[in-house]
Copies of this chain bind each other. A is one copy, B any other.
Amino acid sequence: MKAVENKKKNKKKKMAIAVMSGDLDKLFGAFIIATSAAASNMDVTMFFTFWGLRAIKKNGRTGKSLMGKMMGVLEGGDINKANPSKYSMGGLGRWMFKRMMKAKKVATLPELRQMALDLGVKLYGCQMSMDVMEIPKESLIDETLECVGGAFFVDKALEADVQFFI
């Protein structure tokens, strides 16, 4: 029985996405791809690193050292604070983009992330960039499965049918 179950499980197609960008548009693309894949019954792993950590951060300041605190101020805030990769213009671009998306009834980033979680997409944080940027595990959303290293992502990428670096 178990063997059959395993075989069935193994047949599920897999996707692995490394998300290094924390830009509104890039995160949007990443979650659209992840939710589309999960909705097609794929097993999806997302690995958030560096600026991408914003996607799984709670709202709040981070950092212990002076520089960690500076980084916490500059990169503070959660997924709602993501700026577009172009025309960030001190938050104006973000406001504009969100309005345009709302006008077209497009899902917001927090909605997309929730959809991803509901569809079983697995979210991981990159331990090394969390160390460097002084972001403790507690400041990530509770749904984050684990904080792992690059080798973990490479393993996931190797067993996946589709891989992206965003």
Contacts and interface: CB of A to CB of B under 8 A. Distances in A.
Say whether chain A's binding surface is mostly helix, strand, loop, or mixed: helix
Contacts of A35: 150
A157 B153 contact: no
Contacts of A132: 97, 100-101, 104, 106
Interface residues of A, number: 55
A7 B93 CA distance: 49
Interface of A: 13, 18, 20, 25-26, 28-29, 32-33, 35-37, 39-40, 42, 49-51, 65, 67-68, 70-71, 74, 85-87, 96-97, 99-101, 103-104, 106, 128, 131-134, 149-151, 153-155, 157-158, 160-166
